[in-house]
Structure 1
């Protein structure tokens, strides 16, 4: 059963999804399956295309790297099969470029009406949310799903100047280049939407 999402009065939209990456696309797919009128805004897989390093591999294994959908036929394995690729096991490292292509493939099939415009502002309004687009269009929505990725919230700790207490073996030391590099590498290993639990209405 879909919960009440703020009403559908004149000019009022039940749900707006901000972001068209794995989580935004999965949310939109489940809402569509539940017949919830939704508008989705963003460039498909934009954060993955613009903020992930070339040559990166996903941390998650193939069986845990599918974007959630309410019906079959949209898993990562289905994407590979549709492109003529052989089946792969969980020892296969997924290149980020392949996952981006999978996300676009999923979007074209399950969320074809993504509106490729940016959201400028979201605020409380009229018992719901006011959403302002870059185009200047104003929308009132009962619910807003923020799925824009982590890029706007990125934080890099400023390195402290070396002191006598700083040694090459101290965690976080500026002299500890190898460990810092390892931490940076781990930060760039991203995990997509898991299929263990489906987002959206339950």
Structure 2
């Protein structure tokens, strides 16, 4: 049996979905959000990790129920929570949902179609939801990237960081971490915290810097995106490359200073400017590096990032042939609309057309304003 038709169906229940759904309701759209609330953050991030952002990054497109407002409401001093534990951010998202009256329908979408000008979402429980517009907000978990040789490591001895969130089973283990950006070194720190015997961090670039950085430079770019419709795509290729370099230098070449005391030198061994050239072994795994060093490890962790590919979002299979894409990114309008009228997407899949900051929670409020205003145009 089909439910009544909605103005907007938001598929996903992460930060971008929360922002957009709350703002859409605020603007008068009859909105349903489906998914497991903040499931990626709860289930695919370690409970004892920390955020790189501060209280100034929030979800509310109206600027009222912000992260800073949460701190004030709870009587918390930001200085006592620097860096911010992930659990505190999740408490804030629960608070945001309560304050905005945002409810999440925890049914899951299995398939999305648009047979007669109206979207029909087929749910896992056999029901359907009809909607005039759909906002897809898939998390990065769909887009984990792995090196070509990953399947030469036995399945029970390998994991991408997106899947490794508990470390107790690796106490006393020898672990190779493949990658050298924030997640690689943070997972190395977590492995130290949980008693790993040895951690080898292998990456093709030099050892990154560890320092206190400011993300304030992003504010001006988000303001420009709001002030000028299509601002990012109006930039020259050189201008976009320059901003991307700035973002890379702060967010990728420099890692958080608070990791350093946790990277125990007797445990963590770094292998900069090297890569794995051979893999052997069904029990303990032998990795041969490009500099000739051989590592015998019990487990391999791939901190190899994410690669966008709209075709990997399973619930979009029914409309995939109507979504134009380039290099895995859906081709989006200046209002986050795909080539299928009425279907929008935000977050990681929008970073090519809106800038790298839209892969982070910093972009949530502005993306919500732009996409909802586009629906109401």
Rate the CA distance shift 1:82–1:186 in 2: closer, same or farther, 3 A.
Answer: farther
> Greater share of strand residues, 1 or 2?
2
> C-alpha distance in 2, partners of 1:75/1:122?
32
Q: Deviations over 1:109-161 (max 9, x none)?
A: 21432112111111222113210112211122121111131212223224478
Q: What does residue 137 of structure 2 align with? A: 147
> C-alpha distance in 1, partners of 2:53/2:63?
22
Q: What does residue 303 of structure 2 align with? A: 184
1:156 aligns with 2:154: no
1:113 aligns with 2:282: no
> C-alpha distance in 2, partners of 1:185/1:95?
23
Rate the CA distance shift 1:85–1:11 in 2: closer, same or farther, 3 A.
Answer: closer
Match of 1:96 among 79, 86, 101: 86
TM-score scaled by length of structure 2: 0.42
Q: Give unmatched runs, 5+ long, in structure 2.
A: 153-203, 205-270, 277-286, 307-358
Moved more, 97-106 or 144-153: 144-153
TM-score scaled by length of structure 1: 0.74
Q: What does residue 76 of structure 1 align with? A: 67
1:197 aligns with 2:366: yes
Q: What does residue 24 of structure 2 align with? A: 31
Other structure's SS at 2:48 match: coil
Rate the CA distance shift 1:52–1:125 in 2: closer, same or farther, 3 A.
Answer: same
> Greater share of helix residues, 1 or 2?
2
1:28 shift after superposition: 0.5
1:186 shift after superposition: 8.0
Q: What does residue 66 of structure 1 align with? A: 58
1:11 shift after superposition: 4.3
1:80 shift after superposition: 1.5
Rate the CA distance shift 1:144–1:169 in 2: closer, same or farther, 3 A.
Answer: same
> C-alpha distance in 1, partners of 2:113/2:131?
10
- C-alpha RMSD of matched pairs (Å): 3.2
> C-alpha distance in 2, partners of 1:59/1:191?
10
Other structure's SS at 1:94 match: coil
1:36 shift after superposition: 0.5
Q: What does residue 48 of structure 1 align with? A: 41
Q: Deviations over 1:56-105 (max 9, x none)?
A: 21122321x21123251x1111112222212449x921111111111111
Which of the pair has the greater relative contact order for Cα pairs under 8 Å at 6+ separation?
1
Rate the CA distance shift 1:96–1:158 in 2: closer, same or farther, 3 A.
Answer: farther
Rate the CA distance shift 1:130–1:186 in 2: closer, same or farther, 3 A.
Answer: closer
Q: What does residue 343 of structure 2 align with? A: none
